[in-house]
Amino acid sequence: MGMTLAQKIIASHKLDGDMTPGTPVALRIDQTLTQDATGTMAYLELEAMGIERVKTELSVAYVDHNTLQSGFENADDHRYLQTVAAKYGVYFSRPGNGICHQVHLERFGKPGKTLIGSDSHTPTAGGLGMLAFGAGGLDVAVAMGGGAYYIDMPKMFKVELTGALSPNVTAKDVSLELLRILSVKGGVGAIVEWGGEGVKTLSVPQRATITNMGTELGATTSIFPSDEVTRAFLKAQGREEDYIPLQSDPDAVYDRVISIDLSALKPMIACPHSPDNVVSVDAVAGTKVDQVCIGSCTNSSLQDMLQVAAMLKGKTVHPGVSISVSPGSKQVLRMLADCGALSDILASGARVLECACGPCIGMGFAPNSGGVSLRTFNRNFLGRSGTKDAQVYLVSPETAVASALSGVITDPTTLEPVAALPMPEQFTVDDSAILPPLSPEEAKTAQVLRGPNIKEFPKGKPFADSLDARLVLKVGDNITTDHIMPAGAKILPYRSNIPFLSQFCFQVCDPDFTERAKAAGDGVIVGGSNYGQGSSREHAALVPMYLGIRCVIAKSFARIHVANLINAGILPLTFADPADYDCLSQNSQLSFRDLKAGIAAGVVEMTDEATGRKIPLHCQLTPRQQKILLCGGLLNYTKEEG
């Protein structure tokens, strides 16, 4: 039996375990990336491990999230990241150089290599044939220190592409169509591999858009083959030597195969407030639009921006629409300026923002109250834009421009298409904003600079054999990490200050949660299906841990978040009978006995003290994860293991 592309890379990087789906496998990691919203904590964790220098082939620290410097906090974090990166052997991408995923695709991604990043959209690099995973910062810190990255061996899905995209139908529409088919839970436990003759018609930036959005499926990662299209992209970046051909075997077996005919696809749109609330654009055409945002790690490539400029050229944005354009990197912005496309964008009335995540992470450009905002981003969770009652839709750049010009949601295929834009034969390469680390000798005397907002990493508590705790919060299905630990300009500057950050925990769901959790001492959270979907931010586990949460009970968990809970020393449990969810009430007193034996056996019994009802809970943990939890988290475990 042949192997899939992902299985080949896993086999070549496997350090331990077997490749039976669902069983744990330890992988050697070649590259890591961090960004500033999660990176400060990752490097604090690396420092706490006592490791002198990173052991990966390449590690890069990016500044792209917290770039709004309305106080000292973000500037201090940037200084900390630059100095800690220099000392520990990490490249540093300066503020303004671009979004981590776009820059990594341009300058560092290599087919066949493994990459983990403290950002859930790290699978973007799968567009180059990398096996790239989003992970919590502590997992990234362990990998930088030379440790393995552990995942449950995924199932293998294949999306077979045929045909070619019609004018003004895009890779974003392909992603939205798959979300319509599978939902935000449909990719859980699987790697999505893209194949078929239609793959050859997609450029690397288009492929990267698709692998980026694969995160919203809940997939472990997504990957494209490395072929002549990949070679052409790397050659244009001056990196042809990084190319290797990679594809699945003809007789590879997949757990599920989905077929999409690119030529039959229509423009799609994700309606509020979930990426899988997808319909065709023509189904909501005519809806008044207040704001349009173009950019993010999903759609900020040169190809996207040139398309936007061509559609805007000689036209003026509707007077009722406010529009922003965020190029994905300094390379993209310079090439737009050099060819005159930037002037076309500016002349249309668009506001050009810096090369950063910006509005996607709630860092500025929030919509008006109750406003309809069309965004070329990957998430439209309630309140993520910075305006709680905004109606945020996810669209392609083409749909965004068509709607910005008309003032209402508009199917771009109703417009005259612009000429096809070929990939440039040579990109403008200027790596002056990527600072190399100090030499090992220089690093010995280098100082790491910390501002007053940077606090110590919080320490988890080991588990005793019994636990008495209060149910401090009960929530429903599809709770995201934005619900648990919101993003946005008001909160992001405190990512390295867990005590201050804790006052915002679960504020979207329950403004009284923080005080109630503190008062409870030891607390329990109960959730529904797909608990913890969305961003990889480990703060959604670290802050509850700081507030005394000892376990989270849910119908099911998102992959990255359950790993972050374990790393933080919080016990993740699932209902043996999902109906037991309905029997629990907020503020109930809960008790757990014989915890250590239950964790080892995979079944923990919980008693609701008010009713005397005994509820069995599944505890599906590997022996390593059991040890991590009993130690009180991955940092404690790593220190104990030496």
Q: What is the set of active-site residues?
A: 64-65, 119, 379, 535, 537
Q: Which residue's entry shows tokens 């173009």?
A: 294
- Looking at the chain, the number of H-run helices and the number of E-run strands are 22, 27
Distance (Å, whole) CA 373 – CA 399: 12
Residues 6+ positions from 487 with CB-CB distance below 8 Å: 37, 361, 362, 363, 384, 535, 537
SS3 call for 278: strand
Count of beta carbons in the 10 Å neighbourhood of residue 344: 20
For residues 567 and 42, is the Cβ–Cβ distance under 8 A?
no
Q: What six digits make up the tokens of 100?
A: 């981590």
Q: Which residue's entry shows tokens 């421009």?
A: 401
For residues 87 and 286, is the Cβ–Cβ distance under 8 A?
no
For residues 267 and 413, is the Cβ–Cβ distance under 8 A?
yes
Give me Rg for the CA atoms of the chain: 24
Distance (Å, whole) CA 572 – CA 603: 12
For residues 268 and 299, is the Cβ–Cβ distance under 8 A?
no
Q: What six digits make up the tokens of 148?
A: 């393995």
For residues 412 and 393, is the Cβ–Cβ distance under 8 A?
no
Q: What six digits make up the tokens of 338?
A: 């050099």
Burial of 1 (0-12, 13-18, 19+ CB in 10 A): exposed
Q: What six digits make up the tokens of 185?
A: 């839970």
For residues 5 and 129, is the Cβ–Cβ distance under 8 A?
yes
DSSP assignment of 546-602 equals HTTEEEEEES-B-HHHHHHHHHTTPEEEEESSGGGGGG--TT-EEEE-SHHHHHHHT
Q: Which residue's entry shows tokens 């567009």?
A: 127
